[in-house]
């Protein structure tokens, strides 16, 4: 077999396809599909590997558009045999997590729903809310995504009042605790007044709340309270009593009427249209709804049962055994229900039942979950339709051939030339994509205190943003330009700022590939290249409103970065007057003491503890803040 033929798609090389299929055993395991560049396209599992893989190539008319597109690119198939179907499920989950194949991406991490994160990778874990589930460290734990962001914030606020937890990512003071310690909100983590082991026990209790195990936590605290009371430790018993009362108030918000309310169960259902599916998972513990999680998926990613199965597999992949319920109610029959049930049962250490209820109260519960999914889908559709109408209107205003999928906005911020900065914000499909935002510090030496030049600043930023596409690299097709090449660039300002951007793009030979406009602040006027007059628009047009949202976001982002830079400059301004204290040593001092006030209060001996600060320099710093009266 020649190298060129091996790089052909297996669909175009039937002899090679048949040969490869015959090599695959009829055993449980995992299969990996690769393209002509040896990249993994898809990872799947099956109890009969050969039958599952062969079905992709024999019944292509029944495949979803997503999978059919993937099959066209498959040039090689690998497999790993396992002893059991449950092992295949676990192996698939690990491989997908490691390789992140493009066609395995079912759930959209579009930052729609927030997560609660516990940083178990740190000696003293932090707890915070985030909309980006980027698991940088293996030990960090994410709970969610939660549909009700307000309820999640309320829960976290109550938790921080009940339990003394770490409040700050970095210490405020070096040698003494902050006010949170005096208020009982923090156990003195910054000064290590509590051991990591003891603090970890507190965080474990908090984790039980986010895992839906509040009832177990209340029972545990009840037992500890009784033990403390028997030992005549009434202060500790009273503290535990107050925590129990607060937790009971937290869990008394909603009651779901079901028989066998001692059973822990999850209920999952979806609602979808021809493009998207909204999935809702209700966590019910002791008859109470303790959590409502939400997911989004592409409707073409599989049948309703296959989508629900993948959601459950991904959701429980990182769950601890106590977090897995003994009963899971599902809206549709799962294609590999037995495999999933066996895997979950092995992890939990007891039987986990997957049930598709058809009547009575459990079926009514599934109907309630489906209604919530439908409402959430409709709300999402309304927002998407609003953004689509705005992009359509903007395309008509600017006479664009297609909808502007990626729009970038730029703004400059400074005070009379000081700390001049710029912002780049990105809207994708009319929605802010904050992961693509970028800051710029203006480097032009002519822009300094008392001398500002917005035109030169815009020119510098545009040049730095698009220099990777300059010349020949900017003349290629969409694939060469890359996914971050914008469909529309918006400059905050009038004709002058627009002219500065156009001049740079012409010089870089990129203007013919970019559509650039400016939006003036006062009357919301849109200017385009080559026209001295603004376009005829109305302020309330959906397209103009979209540009205003983009412009306001660029302004907000630029101003916040400018304030940050100005604050850093003000913190260092007094240190600049000390002879021999350069930028790096100023940085070391501020990192060590955190503020000018604490540097002023430090003794010579304390100053010498800072890296790079010798005795002579420490004396100069001390003398600067403590001048002798002559």
393-418 mean pLDDT: 89
102-109 mean pLDDT: 62
Q: Where in the chain is the domain with CATH 3.40.1440.10?
A: 3-104
pLDDT digits (tens, 9 = 90+) for 209-264: 888 778 778 888 888 888 888 888 888 888 888 888 877 776 665 555 565 666 78
pLDDT digits (tens, 9 = 90+) for 526-553: 999 988 888 988 888 999 999 999 999 9
Sequence-distant (≥ 6) Cβ neighbours of residue 625 within 8 angstroms: 599, 600
- The whole-angstrom separation of Cα 212 and Cα 209 is 5
Q: Which residues pair with 282 in a beta bridge?
A: 267, 292
pLDDT digits (tens, 9 = 90+) for 120-156: 888 999 998 887 766 567 788 888 888 877 778 888 8
pLDDT over threshold 90, residue 303:
no
Sequence-distant (≥ 6) Cβ neighbours of residue 612 within 8 angstroms: 584, 585, 588
The full length of the chain comes to 630
pLDDT over threshold 50, residue 443:
yes
Beta-carbon count within 10 A of 360 CB: 10
Q: Which residues pair with 288 in a beta bridge?
A: 255, 285
Helices (H), 9-165: 14-23, 49-58, 65-71, 85-99, 149-162
Alpha carbon distance, N-terminus to C-terminus of the chain: 94
Q: Is the Cβ–Cβ distance between 141 and 120 less than 8 Å?
A: yes
355: left (phi over 0), alpha (psi -120 to 50) or beta: beta
pLDDT over threshold 90, residue 85:
no
* pLDDT at position 440: 92
pLDDT over threshold 80, residue 26:
yes
- The whole-angstrom separation of Cα 106 and Cα 319 is 19
The secondary element (H helix, E strand) that includes residue 498 is: helix 495-507
Edge to edge, the sheet with strand 327-330 lists 288-298, 276-285, 265-272, 327-330, 353-355
* pLDDT at position 555: 92
Q: In this structure, is the dihedral angle defined by the CA atoms of residues 323, 324, 330 and 333, taken in order, positive or negative?
A: positive
- The whole-angstrom separation of Cα 363 and Cα 357 is 5
* pLDDT at position 475: 42
In CATH, which of 3.10.530, 1.10.10, 3.30.420, 1.10.540 is domain 265-379? Answer: 3.30.420
pLDDT over threshold 60, residue 86:
yes
* Assigned token pair, 246: 């607060």
- The whole-angstrom separation of Cα 364 and Cα 357 is 9
* pLDDT at position 106: 57
pLDDT digits (tens, 9 = 90+) for 468-491: 887 644 444 444 456 689 999 999
* pLDDT at position 479: 40
pLDDT digits (tens, 9 = 90+) for 342-362: 889 988 898 999 999 988 888
Which of the four pLDDT bands, split at 50, 70 and 90, describes residue 189? confident
* pLDDT at position 62: 64
Q: Where in the chain is the domain with CATH 1.10.150.20?
A: 574-625
CATH number of 404-561: 3.30.420.340
Which of 81-95, 393-407, 474-488 has the weakest average pLDDT?
474-488
Q: Where in the chain is the domain with CATH 3.30.420.340?
A: 404-561
Which of the four pLDDT bands, split at 50, 70 and 90, describes residue 465? very high
* pLDDT at position 474: 45
DSSP-assigned letter for residue 627:
P
Which of 55-69, 449-463, 554-568 has the weakest average pLDDT?
55-69
Beta-carbon count within 10 A of 319 CB: 16
CATH number of 3-104: 3.40.1440.10
* Assigned token pair, 622: 């001390």
357-385 mean pLDDT: 87
* Percent of the chain that is helix, strand, coil (3-state, to 5): 50, 15, 35
Pairing of strands 127-130, 115-118: antiparallel
* Assigned token pair, 567: 């604050």
pLDDT over threshold 70, residue 51:
yes
* pLDDT at position 353: 92
pLDDT digits (tens, 9 = 90+) for 11-20: 888 888 888 8
- The whole-angstrom separation of Cα 23 and Cα 148 is 50
Sequence-distant (≥ 6) Cβ neighbours of residue 139 within 8 angstroms: 119, 120, 121
Average pLDDT of the chain is 83
pLDDT digits (tens, 9 = 90+) for 273-288: 887 889 999 988 877 7
* pLDDT at position 65: 66
* pLDDT at position 471: 63
* pLDDT at position 5: 40
pLDDT over threshold 70, residue 571:
no
Which of 50-64, 95-109, 557-571, 597-611 has the weakest average pLDDT?
95-109
Half-sphere exposure of 625 (CA within 13 A, CB side): 18
Half-sphere exposure of 86 (CA within 13 A, CB side): 8
* pLDDT at position 107: 54
- The whole-angstrom separation of Cα 325 and Cα 263 is 8
Give which of 209, 196, 391, 379 is closest to 283, Cα–Cα: 209
Fold exhibited by the domain 574-625: DNA polymerase; domain 1 (1.10.150)
b or e along 488-498 (b: 16 or more beta carbons within 10 Å of the residue's beta carbon)? bbbbbbbbebb
* Assigned token pair, 214: 């509040």
Helices (H), 59-195: 65-71, 85-99, 149-162, 179-182
* pLDDT > 70 fraction of the chain, expressed in percent and rounded: 90
């Amino acid at each position: 077999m020649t190298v060129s033929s091996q790089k052909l798609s297996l669909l175009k090389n039937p002899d090679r396809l048949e040969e490869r299929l015959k090599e695959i055993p009829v055993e449980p395991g995992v299969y990996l599909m690769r393209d002509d560049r040896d990249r993994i396209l898809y990872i799947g599992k099956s109890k009969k590997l050969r039958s599952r893989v062969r079905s992709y190539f024999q019944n292509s008319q029944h495949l979803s558009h997503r999978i059919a597109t993937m099959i066209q690119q498959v040039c090689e198939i690998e497999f790993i045999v396992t002893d059991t179907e449950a092992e295949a499920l676990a192996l698939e989950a690990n491989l997908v997590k490691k390789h992140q194949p493009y066609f395995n991406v079912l759930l959209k991490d579009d930052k729609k729903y927030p997560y609660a994160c516990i940083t178990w990778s740190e000696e003293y874990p932090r707890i915070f809310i985030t909309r980006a589930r980027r698991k940088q460290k293996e030990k960090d734990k994410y709970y969610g995504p939660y549909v009700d962001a307000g309820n999640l914030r309320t829960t976290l606020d109550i938790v921080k009042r009940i339990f003394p937890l770490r409040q700050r990512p970095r210490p405020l003071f070096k040698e003494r605790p902050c006010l949170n310690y005096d208020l009982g909100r923090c156990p003195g983590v910054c000064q290590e007044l509590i051991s990591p082991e003891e603090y970890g026990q507190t965080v474990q209790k908090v984790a039980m709340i986010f895992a839906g195990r509040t009832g177990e936590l209340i029972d545990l605290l009840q037992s500890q309270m009784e033990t403390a009371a028997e030992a005549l430790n009434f202060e500790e018993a009273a503290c535990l009593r107050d925590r129990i009362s607060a937790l009971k108030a937290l869990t008394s918000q909603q009651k779901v009427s079901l028989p066998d309310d001692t059973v822990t169960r999850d209920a999952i259902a979806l609602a979808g249209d021809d493009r998207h599916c909204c999935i809702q998972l209700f966590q019910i513990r002791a008859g109470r709804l303790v959590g409502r999680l939400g997911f989004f998926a592409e409707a073409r990613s599989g049948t309703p049962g296959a989508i629900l199965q993948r959601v459950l597999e991904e959701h429980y992949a990182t769950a601890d055994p106590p977090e897995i319920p003994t009963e899971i109610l599902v809206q549709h029959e799962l294609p590999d229900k037995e495999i999933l049930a066996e895997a979950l049962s092995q992890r939990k250490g007891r039987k986990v039942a997957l049930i598709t209820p058809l009547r009575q109260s459990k079926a009514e519960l599934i109907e309630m979950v489906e209604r919530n999914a439908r409402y959430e889908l409709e709300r999402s559709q309304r927002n998407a339709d609003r953004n689509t109408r705005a992009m359509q209107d903007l395309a008509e205003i600017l006479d664009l051939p297609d909808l502007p999928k990626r729009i970038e906005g730029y703004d400059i911020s400074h005070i009379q030339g000081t700390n001049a900065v710029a912002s780049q914000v990105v809207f994708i499909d009319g929605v802010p994509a904050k992961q693509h935002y970028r800051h710029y510090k203006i480097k032009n030496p002519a822009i300094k205190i008392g001398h500002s030049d917005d035109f030169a600043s815009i020119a510098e930023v545009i040049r730095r943003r698009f220099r990777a596409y300059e010349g020949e690299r900017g003349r290629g097709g969409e694939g060469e330009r890359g996914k971050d090449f914008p469909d529309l660039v918006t400059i905050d300002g009038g004709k002058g700022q627009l002219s500065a951007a156009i001049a740079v793009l012409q010089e870089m030979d990129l203007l013919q590939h970019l559509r650039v406009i400016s939006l003036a602040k006062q009357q919301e006027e849109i200017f385009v290249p080559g026209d001295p007059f603004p376009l005829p628009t109305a302020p309330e047009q959906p397209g103009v409103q979209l540009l205003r949202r983009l412009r306001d976001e660029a302004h907000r982002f630029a101003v916040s970065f400018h304030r940050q830079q100005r604050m850093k400059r003000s913190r260092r301004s007094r240190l600049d007057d000390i002879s021999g204290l350069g930028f790096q040593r100023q940085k070391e001092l501020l990192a060590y003491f955190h503020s000018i006030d604490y540097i002023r209060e430090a003794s010579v001996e304390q100053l010498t503890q800072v890296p790079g600060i010798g005795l002579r320099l420490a004396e100069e710093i001390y003398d600067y803040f403590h001048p002798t009266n002559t």
